Amino acid sequence: MATYKLRFFFDNIAGVCLWAGDTATMERFDYPVDLDMLPIPSDLSEAADSLIARWERHVYEERPWPPGDSLAVFAKDCRAFVGRLESALPDGYEIADELTARLMSAAEAAAGVPLARGWTPPSM
């Protein structure tokens, strides 16, 4: 059985959050991975669409965050999404979260407070 390697991050044009991490995955799903092609529940695909919309509106377009939302909340929601995705996918899928650590670092810097004690972001 092939192992499909997925990379989680956003770009500013494609409107997706998953990308192929190797040739086998790209041959199966293409480079930007359409979540509708994955064996996941539709509510998880809808959660991704919501994250993508928030990314485009508040990070890429730099619109203000609405009350109750922030970069820190968004980063935690991204982390939760990746966890849900990992749980939903069957064996044979791996996910590399290439974004959440950077978001957490940026949110910490903006707030001037560590958001996750003992958590160290990976080097870029």
Q: Are the C-beta atoms of residues 51 and 73 closer than 8 Å to each other? A: no
pLDDT per position as a tens digit, 68-96:
898 899 999 999 999 999 999 999 999 99
Which stretch of 39-53, 55-69, 90-104 has the lowest confidence by average pLDDT?
55-69
Q: Is the pLDDT of residue 22 over 80?
A: yes
Give, for 53, the enclosing helix (H) or strand (E).
helix 42-54
Query: What tens digit of pLDDT does each residue of 33-47 get?
Result: 999 999 999 999 999
Q: How many CA atoms lie within 13 A of 5 on its CB side?
A: 6
Cα gap 68→56, rounded to integer Å: 18
- The mean pLDDT of 26-33, rounded to a whole number, is 95
Task: Give the predicted TM-score (pTM) of the model.
Answer: 0.84
